[in-house]
Each structure stands twice: as structure tokens, then as C-alpha cells.
Amino acid sequence: MQILITGGTNGIGLAAAQMLAARGANVAIVGRNEGRTQAAAARIRAVAAAGVAVGTFIADLSSQAAVRKLAAEVRSRYPRLDVLVNNAGAMYTTRQLTADGIEQTWAVNHLAPFLLTTLLLDRLEASAPARIITTASDAHRGAQLPFEDLNAEHSYRGFGRYGQTKLANILFTLELARRLEGSGVTANCFHPGLVASGFNRNNGLLMSLAMTVLAPVSRSSEKGAETLVWLATSPQVAQTSGAYFVDERPAMPSPAGQDREAAQRLWDISERQCRSAS
């Protein structure tokens, strides 16, 4: 079994890669820094079952050119791909634009998984049965998609923006599952719980301190990765698609996360946003 995991250098993605490799899956991770990526690969190899191949790819997912290059490399190295895990993600307390002119949270958390998935879709379909898993979050609750202010020019609050992108993960999964009906490829997403990872350690001392304060009530990255590993491997969910999971159980997303019309609209807009940056 060949699995590709973005955000495999730290936290939930690294823990999932280790758990999957320990069970005998060939795992490839995507990182944006060569040193961190090789160090993570060594940690995965250290716990991998005999014969497991651990691959690495380097891509800064905030850049659409880098995502396109990544997809081309994955296609040339892997004739089959059984599981794609869109896990990389972050929150930014200050608004920043990517080289493509797109607000960074939207670019990394939503457009990168959208573009990577669509570029690998025929490879996944040819490998069916195959699975696509996206790490979403309960932080989507209370968020609405900002169709009138997609680049967050008029209003930007770090956590609120993060919630919008996690809502986008859920709606992307909903529409993707609809498009994949009958293909043998499933698409699901999940909330990992509050996890003591590297999350929100990129936003200065105060935010880092807040994460340290939250650490005693947070779960480990291994615990946070359990639902991901289950979605990637369990026969129980082999036929399930378009669902949101918490702790290996289906959960209802917010009403905004069930809006099929918004999901289709988001898909069309995302296609345009990716076309205009290509």
C-alpha cells in the first residue's frame, strides 16, 4: 500500500506516518524543509516494519507552482497511490499573501489540498480502491465561507480565518465525494481533537505560551493521528465517503459544513483560483 501524507514532518502527520509505516504501509511524506523532512523520514524508518519504503518530497504548499511540481514528481515516482492524506495546515495571526497573491491560510489549508488532490485524482482512480483523507477541525464550527471577501481583505482574524479554511476542508470533501461516486475512491475528513503539536507555535511568544498552557488538556500527536490511521486502513470505512469523523465515529459538521450548494460553489471558485495562479 502506498500512502502520501502532507505535513509529515511534525505533529499529527508525522505520528500517522510512523503508525502506518509500523503497520507495513509504504509512506511518503511531504515537507517544505529538506533537513526537517529527512529527520522526520529517519524517525519513520526507525519504527517502520521490515521492507517498508519511506519516501520524501519537498514542497512549500503555499505556492501553487510548488504543488504542481510536487504532483508531477509523485506521478513520476508512484505508478499507484492508494491513500492521499491532505494534513498540512496552519493558523496565522497576521494576514500574509503568498507569491500567488492569495491569503496564506486559504492557500495552505484549502487551495493546496484542492490542487494536489485534483492533480492526483486520475492516479488515485486508477489505483481504486483508494482513499483521500483531509485533516479538518472542529474549529470550523461558527465559520461561514467568505464568498464576498475570499482573500480576507476586509476582515482578518487569525482563528476566524483558520475556521473558514477548515470549513472549506469539509465542503471540499463533500463535493469531492459527490464527484467520485462510483469511482472506488472515497473522500473523508476528520477532527483530530486538541493536539499538543507544533500547531500555533509559528505566531510568536504569546501564542506559543498559550499552547503550553493548553498542553495538559491536549492529546498527544499519536492520539490525534488515530482517526487518520483508521480512515486510511480500516475495512469499516472502505465504502464510506463524504463524511466527517471525530474519534473514529461519524460526526455532524456545522450546518455550514453540510451546505451542498456552497460546496459546489467553493469547488468552482477554487478551480478559478488555481487557474489564475498557474
Interface contacts to ligand NAP, rule CB under 6 A: 7, 9-13, 31-33, 36, 60-62, 87-90, 108, 135, 137, 191-192, 194-195, 197-199
59: cell is: 514542497
Phi and psi dihedrals of 114, rounded to 5?
-60, -50
Residues 6+ apart with CB under 8 A from 10: 36, 40, 197, 198, 221
177: cell is: 465525494
Phi and psi dihedrals of 56, rounded to 5?
-135, 145
32: cell is: 517544505
Distance in Å, CB of 126 to ligand NAP, minimum:
26
Strands 130-135 and 185-191, by their bridges, are parallel
78 is catalytic: no
Let me know how long the chain is. Answer: 278
Q: What is the DSSP string of 2-59?
A: EEEEESTTSHHHHHHHHHHHHTT-EEEEEESSHHHHHHHHHHHHHHPPTT--EEEEE-
Active site residues: 162
